[in-house]
Structure 1
Amino acid sequence: MSARLLPYPWLSLALWLVWLLLDGSLAVGQVLLGAALALFIPLASRSMYVHGRMHVRRFGLALLVAMRVAVDISLSCWKVCRIILGPEEARRRSGFITIELSIRSVYGMTVLASIVNSTPGTVWTELSADNRILLVHLLDLDEEQAFRRMFHERYEKPLMEIFE
């Protein structure tokens, strides 16, 4: 198929597969409806891709980061439960920290924002005008430097390798 009819084939494939997984059926009607949506949505949203095509440079690393994020979100859920249900002193450790960013890819930064906002206990609150300083609110602000180090090593550096 031409790029005009199928501008983002991987996105179309992902949309179609997610549709089928969420529906839980391989009925002919659902397969066809999912295919129609998978073709129509990228065409209808083509004007939103002002930064050009996203290029994933290291697909294996992207899968590793996705698994890491899933584990971190699960562990963070337990940690947040302990803080909320635990002694009041645990709830007094929340606060804001700033993190200097090295990542420049719009797509990498978008994924980074999704990771931060999907992880219980963290919220991306503000990004400086030059996209270099990130303000994050943490529910458990024990070790600022340890969090910054973990943030750069676990998320930012791998995303830079994937998208830049």
Structure 2
Amino acid sequence: MTRLFPHPLLSVVLLVFWLMLQQSAGLGHILMGAIVGTIVPLAARPVIGERVGLRRPLKALQLLGVVLVDVIRSNVAVFLVLLSPRPKPTEGFIEMQLKLSHPLGLATLACILTAVPGSAWLEYDQDRSTVLIHVFDLVDADEWVEIVKTRYESLLLEIFP
């Protein structure tokens, strides 16, 4: 069974996304979604590699909630900065040390920081375990480091073994 479905969760997610894109749960769409959900993980097996285990799946849901709230909050903050009468936002760069070393955890953190408006993951130095982040309106660099460490990195350290 694992030979046909090497990543069953990915297969289910692809099926659900397929049905959402089609906006229908008709038999033909379900069959086509099942085919996509079977073929894509098989084709991606060399790229994906080994199965990824989540040590604490409920923490992953907590992280998702935190990120959704932060994306909404950051959208509002960036909007207000753009509308404010200040001459120009004070953008800046932050280099911070990370404890996180799991490749998928780092990729997740990169996606989070890039998805949250007003920040972008620029560069990761594996030798020094540091990340360079660009912030659109940098008022307090220490506050940004604290946010990333407490809201994202701490949860990612619990999620990925």
Q: TM-score, normalised by structure 2?
A: 0.95
Query: Residue in 2 aligned with 1:134?
Result: 131
Deviations along 1:11-58, whole A, 9 cap, x unmatched? 1011111211232201111111111000000000111024x2211111
Query: Residue in 1 aligned with 2:143?
Result: 146
Query: Residue in 1 aligned with 2:5?
Result: 6
Instruction: Give the whole-Å Cα distance in 1 for the aligned partners of 2:102 and 2:121.
Output: 17
SS of residue in 2 equivalent to 1:137: strand
The number of residue pairs the alignment matches comes to 161
Q: TM-score, normalised by structure 1?
A: 0.94
Q: Taking every aligned residue pair, what percent have the same amino acid on both sides?
A: 34
Query: Residue in 2 aligned with 1:34?
Result: 33
Displaced runs of 4+ in structure 1, greater than 4 A? none
SS of residue in 2 equivalent to 1:134: strand
Deviations along 1:128-160, whole A, 9 cap, x unmatched? 142611000001211111110111010001101
Name the aligned partner's letter for residue 148 of structure 1: V
Q: Does 1:73 align with 2:33?
A: no
SS of residue in 2 equivalent to 1:57: coil
Alignment of 1:3-152 (within 5 A): 3-50=2-49, 52-89=50-87, 91-130=88-127, 132-152=129-149
SS of residue in 1 equivalent to 2:120: strand
Deviation at 1:92? 3.3
Instruction: Give the whole-Å Cα distance in 1 for the aligned partners of 2:128 and 2:32.
Output: 40
Instruction: Give the whole-Å Cα distance in 2 for the aligned partners of 1:27 and 1:38.
Output: 16
Question: For structure 2, which runs of at least 5 residues remain unmatched after alignment?
Answer: none
User: Do the aligned residues in 1 keep the contact of 2:113 with 2:119 (CA within 8 Å)?
Assistant: yes
SS of residue in 2 equivalent to 1:96: strand
Instruction: Give the whole-Å Cα distance in 1 for the aligned partners of 2:29 and 2:132.
Output: 43
Instruction: Give the whole-Å Cα distance in 1 for the aligned partners of 2:58 and 2:126.
Output: 32
Name the aligned partner's letter for residue 17 of structure 2: V
Name the aligned partner's letter for residue 46 of structure 2: S
Instruction: Give the whole-Å Cα distance in 2 for the aligned partners of 1:154 and 1:94.
Output: 22
